[in-house]
């Protein structure tokens, strides 16, 4: 019976760099109590992986936390991360390691069953926003970076945007 599905890559006609270009990021979901070592092992096995835990991993109806776009130019990387309903407070952290690993953690506040606003209590009829709770996201930039040269912007639109200078030879 003939194979019916996506074209396969034949090793003699495809270089490693061609294969890497065709690969899309893999989402890796870990339990909320995962250690940093478990994160690192997950990313070592899949350099184009995006690791999610907590509210980011539940993937319920509503805006998804942790969608990532990555771009690059000659000397820098740009990344954008979708973080709707995330508080910009002391629980929020974004770090970039010298090898280009990005680690983000924080707390979402949307999606709760009861909302208190202006001295009023509302019992929610629908809950389509991201569920409340702690989350963490980790992903790998394409190469090593100058981790001290990062420009972060996290505005009220819920998009974290960063420009990170590449480590040049």
Domain boundaries, the chain: 25-166
pLDDT given for residue 126 in this prediction: 74
pLDDT given for residue 119 in this prediction: 94
pLDDT given for residue 163 in this prediction: 97
pLDDT given for residue 131 in this prediction: 77
- Tokens at 4, concatenated: 């019916």
Q: Taking Cα atoms as reference points, which of 20, 108, 100 lies closest to residue 60?
A: 108
Residue 134 near residue 106, CB atoms below 8 Å: yes
Q: pLDDT by residue (tens digit) across 3-48?
A: 344 444 444 444 544 544 455 667 777 777 777 788 777 777 776 6
Architecture of domain 25-166: Sandwich (2.60)
pLDDT given for residue 80 in this prediction: 96
Collapsing DSSP to helix, strand or coil, 80 comes out as: strand
The residue with greater pLDDT, 59 or 39, is 39
Half-sphere exposure (Cβ direction) of 99: Cα atoms closer than 13 Å:
9
* Mean pLDDT (whole number) for 75-81: 96
Backbone angles phi, psi at 71, to 5 degrees: -135, 170
Look at strands 114-117 and 159-166 and give their pairing: unpaired
The secondary structure of residue 11, as a DSSP letter, is T
pTM, entire model: 0.62
Q: pLDDT by residue (tens digit) across 92-119?
A: 999 999 999 999 999 988 878 888 889 9
């Amino acid at each position: 019976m003939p194979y019916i599905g996506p074209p396969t890559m034949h090793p003699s006609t495809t270089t490693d760099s061609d294969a890497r270009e065709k690969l899309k990021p893999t989402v890796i979901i870990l339990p909320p109590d995962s250690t940093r070592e478990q994160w690192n092992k997950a990313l070592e096995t899949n350099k184009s992986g995006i690791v999610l835990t907590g509210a980011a991993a539940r993937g319920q109806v509503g805006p998804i936390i942790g969608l990532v776009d990555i771009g690059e130019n000659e000397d820098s990387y740009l990344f954008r991360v979708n973080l709707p309903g995330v508080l910009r407070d002391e629980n929020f952290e974004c770090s970039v390691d010298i090898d280009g690993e990005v680690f983000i953690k924080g707390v979402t506040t949307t999606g709760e069953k009861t909302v208190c606003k202006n001295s009023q209590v509302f019992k929610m009829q629908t809950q389509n926003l991201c569920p409340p709770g702690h989350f963490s996201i980790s992903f790998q930039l394409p190469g090593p970076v100058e981790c001290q040269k990062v420009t972060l912007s996290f505005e009220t639109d819920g998009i974290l945007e960063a420009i990170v200078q590449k480590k040049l030879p």
